[in-house]
């Protein structure tokens, strides 16, 4: 959980007088990375083709498709899905 912090303002003096909460930042970074990893564990490519709407608007088989997004029986979503892309997956 991210806790509220009070950062210095322009009127509070030089930045070097502000103690950096490195352990807090490391803990928050580790928590954020764990959440990203958990989301990526849900959004990964199938190992088989599924039916869905192709990028050109036609209907057909998509391979690979996201294992979480859409419905594998009729509405597959091409992988990488928007969630995977937002988390840094490029292909």
Judged by DSSP in three states, 43 sits in coil
In this predicted model, what pLDDT tens digit does every residue of 10-60 receive, in sequence order? Answer: 555 555 555 557 888 888 889 999 999 999 999 999 888 889 888 888 989
Burial of 51 (0-12, 13-18, 19+ CB in 10 A): middle
* Residue 88 backbone dihedrals phi, psi, to 5 degrees: 105, 0
Contacts of 1 (CB under 8 A, 6+ apart): 31
Domain boundaries of the chain, sorted by first residue? 18-86
What pLDDT, on a 0 to 100 scale, did the predictor assign at position 13?
A: 54
What pLDDT, on a 0 to 100 scale, did the predictor assign at position 26?
A: 86
């Amino acid at each position: 959980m991210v806790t509220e912090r009070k950062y210095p303002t322009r009127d509070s003096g030089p930045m070097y007088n502000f103690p950096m909460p490195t352990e807090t930042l490391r803990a928050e970074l580790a928590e954020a990375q764990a959440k990203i990893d958990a989301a990526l564990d849900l959004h990964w490519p199938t190992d088989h083709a599924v039916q869905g709407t192709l990028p050109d608007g036609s209907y057909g088989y998509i391979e690979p498709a996201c294992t979480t997004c859409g419905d594998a029986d009729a509405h597959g979503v091409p992988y990488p899905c928007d969630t995977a892309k937002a988390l840094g997956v490029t292909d």
